[in-house]
Structures are given as C-alpha cells and as structure tokens.
Structure 1
Amino acid sequence: MGFRSLAKFNVALLAKQGWRFMNNPTSLAARVYKAKYFPNTTFIESSLGNNSSFTWKSIWAARGVLKEGLCWKVGNGSEIFVFNDAWVPDLQHSRLSFHVNSLNDFRVADLIDHSSRKWRREVLEATFSEFIVEKILRIPLATEANDDVVAWCGEHSGEFSVRSAYKLLQSHEVDPTAYVLQNAYKNFYKKLWSLNLPSKIKITTWKISWNYLPTRVNMHHRRLSTILLCPRCGAGAEDINHLFRECPVSLEIWKQLDLLEVLKNSDMMFKEWLAWAFEECSFRQCRLFCCSLWAIWDERNRGVHERVWRSVEETVKFIRNYILELDAVENVTLMKKAQVELKKWKPPSEQFVKI
C-alpha cells in the first residue's frame, strides 16, 4: 500500500544529522561533537570511541549511508583520492578501486594539467581502461581552479535530502539494522546475562564493557589521581585496553588459559573486541573468558590495595578451580531438581485409589 519502512526512514534521518556536521561545522552541535569525538579528523573518517553517548552512536552508525551517496565535484583535485573516493559519475561502483587493481594513492590533481585546465589524456589512457577514460573526460573543469566540493548524488542540487537517502536504502535492499550500532552489542549482552556465573562476575564484565572501572587513566581524567602507569608492568598507561589486552601479565594469563586466540583482533575498539570474542566463543569459553576478566581486575586491586601480588600460575590455577566449583554447584543443583521431579505426585491408574 506504499507505507514507508520506519526503520529505514529513521536511518535516513540520522544520516541527515551527519550531513549537517559536514556542511555546517560552525554550528554549536557540530563543534561540540567534533571536540569530543573527532577532533583531529572528519566525520566520515571518525571512529566510535569508548563510552560514547547514545546519540553519537546512532549518528555515527548511519554514516555508512553517507559513504554510499557522497561524491566529489572536481575543482583543483587536491583533496580527492583517485581510487578511494567517489568522483567519476555514472559508474556502477563509484570508486575506481572496484575497477582498477592498483595500490597507488595519488590524487585527482595529478591527472589535471593545471596550466591549461584540461585532463592529461596520456596519463588517463596509461592508467585506466577506455571505458573509464571516456567518463573522466566528460567531467568539466572550470577555467579557474576552485576547491573540491562534496556533494550528494541523490539530488541534482547536490544537497542531502531524507527522501533520496530513503530511496538509496530501498534500492540497495539494505537491512536497516545493519546501521543501528546498538544491535551489534545486543547478542553480547544477551549472552552475558544468560551465562551460569555469579552476578558479581557478570556485573564486572558489564562495567568493563562500558569502561566504568576505576583504572588509573579514568581516575586521572576525573582528577582523582596523578599516576598513570600500570601498577603491574609499569610499561604503559593503565586504561581498559592496556589492562586486559596489552599488559604482559594479562597476555600470559590468556596464553595459559588457551584464550590467546581472542586477542588476535587487537586493532578493534575495546567494546567491539568484547562483542567479537563473545560471538566467536562457545558458552563454556565465554564463562572462562568472563571469569578471567573478573580475576584479572580482582588481582590488580589486591596488588594495589593490599600489596599482595600473585604469580600468573597462581591466578590461572584460581580461575580453573573457580570454574570447577561452579560446575560442581551446577551438577548438584541439577541432581536436586531431578530428585524433586521423581518425588512428584502422580495419579493412579484406573480401578485404583492412592491414599
């Protein structure tokens, strides 16, 4: 009947906020978000960061729509990368990296003769196929070099509109939940709370995922401490990433527990790494993983506050024994449930009376 998909329409509205960040950088909202989340880069190239607000997570997740619909209008070509940016119109894939297998990272300015303001045909013909050369030669160049301008492909005016963004999502048949960042962590939290672990371990893991632990970096940010170095290794600032992924003590614990595989994606943001680890691990491995996170934090606190430092071998032994105790308690609970079911009253068969 022509009803709109509200999920896709919502993604288009979020993408509009990202467009405003790009084209109205002097607005109060754009300046606040840039100062907090992407001070040294652009919105398109920004990263999510840790402990971000719900609003920023939503807007940042919708930038994929902008990446699909943005294109460059060629001025002097100094800001446009030849293979990684969209600047050639009427291509099935707007970026030339889909059409040309090249690792060269040069810019469109290298393809222009700036004295005559014409395309350098010999360079084009030596680099691209005839089909792409024809499309590039159709791009008009102004007689005076202007700055390169980012435009929106969905409208002739080059201005973003929610309508065209919605059509883009419809034409690509994209699942709108792919742009909702919070869904990426739903499985993580769902699996976490379903694990057969004490509440203190699950709550600690939840705090770790939100960077709520009082690490020395967090304490320094709140002006509660001037010490930044890790108390265990002294080799780096103790933030949430160093504590669980970079500290040599933690690395040795992961190795002895046969969980070093979860550290292979070390280029991920910390929360993304946690979600990925839960996705890759079985329920039993997730129990061991969460128990290890809790034990590492507990051992750190014991060392800082009580000056008692246990060896890696002792910590690993404690973790394994703790898991064995949990398994034993679980088995006893199952046996008690089975006994209760055996004692359950059942009605007698016909022609009999049970007293």
Structure 2
Amino acid sequence: MAQFNISLLAKQGWRIINNLNSLVARVLKAKYFPNNDFINSRLENTTSYTWISIWATKGILAEGLCWRVGTSMNVTINNDASIPDAETFRLSSFVHNMQDSKVTELIDTNKRIWKRELIVNTFLEGDAKKILRIPLAQEPHDHFLVWSGEPSRAETSDHLFRECPVLVKFWTTLSFSNTLIDTTMDFTQWLTWVFDQCPPHHCRIFCCALWAIWGDRNARIHEKKISIGQEIARFVNNYITELNGIKKRNSSKPQELREWSHPPDSIVKINFDGAYDGCHYKSASGIVVRNAEGIIHLSCSETQKEVASTFATEALACRKAV
C-alpha cells in the first residue's frame, strides 16, 4: 500500500512536469518553485502537507525521466539524462572538452541527422553507438521529458531459460537431458547447438517450450501468476497434442490461401512491415499501396542503420507509410 501511495503521488509530479499550464501546476509553481522546475525545486520551511508529499517523490521521477532529443539549448551532453539505451540514461564517463556543450551541437539541423564523425571521435565507443541509435524526428521539436522506466538487471536470457531452479524439473519433464540444457556455452550458441542435436520432433517441443517460458515470465511479472515447472511442461505437452490434432484435421481439407482483403471503392490501402537485426542494430521497411481493385500504385523498401529496438523498427516503417 505504501508503494501504491507513492506511485499515485509520483503521478501528480509527472502531471506538474507535463502540464505546466494547468491551474494546479501554476499555483504550486508560483508558491513553491517560481524560479525553477519541479525536479530541481527545493523544500522550504513553510509548505503544505500536500506539497511535501508530492515533492518527496521527485527523486523517483528523476531516476526514470529521460529527455527526448529535440532543439532545446538547455539540455547538456554531460549532465542531463538523454540517452535511453544507457544505464542511467547518461554518458558512461564525463567528456571534459564538452563540459558546457549542449546535445543540439551533435545534430546536423539541416539534414536532421547526428554528426557521426564528431560523435565517434569524441565519445567512448559504447557511448557513441548509443547516441547514434537515438532516433531523430524529421520535423524539429523542442526537448521534452519522457518516462523511460527501470530496465530489469537481474534477469538474463541464461537465467530465464536455463538457470532458473523452476526450469530444472520443467526440462526433465519434457524429456530433455541435462546435457542438452548446457549452461556453459553462450546462449545463442546453445540455441544453435540444440537444433543441431535434436530431431525435428524435439526441436518443435523445444521451440514451444521457449515460448511457454516467456509467456510464464510475462504472467509472473504483469499478472502475478506463479507456475511450477511441471505446470508449464504440462501446458507445452497439451499444446503440442492440440497442434497435432489440428494438423490431422487440416490434412483432410483442401488448403485455403489467405487472400488480401480489398478496401472499399475509392479507398487506397497501405500495407507496411518492418524487420529488425538486433545484432547489428539495422532494420528494413517494406510498403505496398493498392487500390480497391488490388492494383499496385506504389511499392518501396528501405534499410535503416543504428536502430535501437523492434519497436523503433515498426515505428520507422509506420512513419514511412504515413
């Protein structure tokens, strides 16, 4: 209940940051931080209980807030949180020759791209890559604060899929030997190795098992549902059995091709999709524009470099379609 109360108070602080023109924000600013912003405000002696309660949560907000890069000359390179992909949303080390420099100095404002050569030659390699992966809007806008959340640092792919004690019984129930669940090799190497060692039937179960583990993890975090290893294994076996039954039923039916659905008359439909290469932070977008008769008016594809995530990939494809 205490944590829930803090979260509600922190939301009020978030609203003050994002709705400075609201009546309550203007009243609080005029009284408690007329010459500063909420995050940098100080607590005076004569304050109300309401303000003390909201002010007490600004530290929590400060840990999760990150500047979305725009045109503001107030956001500094060294001191302000503006790198979403970084540990604390900041550089890993202080750059002395850019002590008072602003983030906008790293952007080519005419082309709306990062000054790659300047960034690569100024920052550490890891910091430079993270900066270059920050997407820039095609239309310039002012900096604004966004909530970046708190990425989990306990959970790794190895722990989630192989090392968790709950999964020892899980893999055994699915008839996978301890040799196959080898934790000494790299996670990616392990995936490839399992597919090389197992027959197709076991590979099928293995894929379904990984999917079930990920689903159980999401249910545990977001829905607070706890499952034991045998329950997850039972789900996998039942799911495979169901798939086999569907396959048998469908084998007696003629295959039906899924057709593209036509839009109404005088309407143009735009289909788009994106693909992401997480190893090299690259993405590709594909777009097809067709009319009600299915005639293609336009189709195009393009690749992008320094893309941070699959979400960014879909967003880039969507923006291109728009």
Instruction: Classify the TM-score, shorter chain.
Output: 0.3 to 0.5
- The TM-score, its normalising length taken from structure 2, stands at 0.44
Instruction: Give 1 or 2: higher strand fraction.
Output: 2
**Alignment TM-score, normalising by the size of structure 1:** 0.40
